[in-house]
Amino acid sequence: MSAESLSQPPSPPHFALRRRDWAAFLARTLAGWALGYHRLVVSGTEHLPRQGAALILPKHCAYRDILVEGVVLHRYSGRFANYVMKVGLWGALEALGGIKVIRPKDVRRLKDHQARREEIRRARQLNQETLDYLAWLYERGELVLSHPEGMRFQRGMGPLQKEIIDHLLQVERERGLRVPLIPIGLQYESFARPGARIFVRIDAPLYTAQFPDCQALMGALAQRLSQLSGWA
């Protein structure tokens, strides 16, 4: 290997889109049928981007949120998203746009020290691959969807996790991108009553350049999600 080649930066990882749009369309059709149990009331659809990258940040109330989000995104923008999800969920969900991450609390659950060390090593490798893939998705002009609370909170807002925002800031800085962040509020009239309404409120995009730092951005995002979801 020549000295010149040693001085060159490493080539970016090569990826192929893991989502299969035929599978995502089938899932969206089935989800639309399943959501006949509820009535969707959607506002702010003009804020959904019809093209280009975006980071979609919805309130997380229940497992069915993902069905709601998939139906709304495709119905009003004609697009499928890529969903950041915990690693324990079905592997088949990757064909529908799932992107696996290992959360710190998933590692902390392991009591055996050796098993925990192995899982930490695996988590670092898998999560770095995930971050590289997410950067590639942004460059490709894809929609990335992440629930910023990191888990479900039915009776209020949970604390927001900033890892996905930190990563976006890094990607924008390193690759010269400008990616809109789209807050979406979800409010269920009832989780159990047939015909109960689900209010889906899509807000105007935020941009990282509007804020002096990540903390200010997270504060604005938390405030918007709380208001949009009826918890203000």
Characterise 226 by phi-psi region: left (phi > 0), alpha (psi -120 to 50), beta (else). alpha
Which residues pair with residue 2 across a beta bridge? none
Tens digit of pLDDT at every position of the chain (232 positions): 434 434 444 445 678 999 999 999 999 999 999 999 999 999 999 999 999 999 999 999 999 999 999 999 999 999 999 999 876 555 578 888 999 887 666 655 556 667 667 766 776 778 888 999 999 999 999 999 999 999 999 999 999 999 999 999 999 999 999 999 999 999 999 999 999 999 999 999 999 999 999 999 999 999 999 999 999 7
pLDDT of residue 61: 97
Q: Assign domain 15-228 to its CATH architecture.
A: 3-Layer(aba) Sandwich (3.40)
SS3 84: strand
Question: Edge-to-edge strands of the sheet including 81-86?
Answer: 39-43, 197-202, 181-188, 54-58, 143-145, 81-86, 98-101
pLDDT of residue 205: 98
**Which residues contact residue 166 at a Cβ distance below 8 angstroms, ignoring those fewer than 6 apart?**
214
- H or E segment to which residue 104 belongs: helix 104-108
Say if CB 102 and CB 117 are below 8 A apart. no
For the chain, the domains span: 15-228
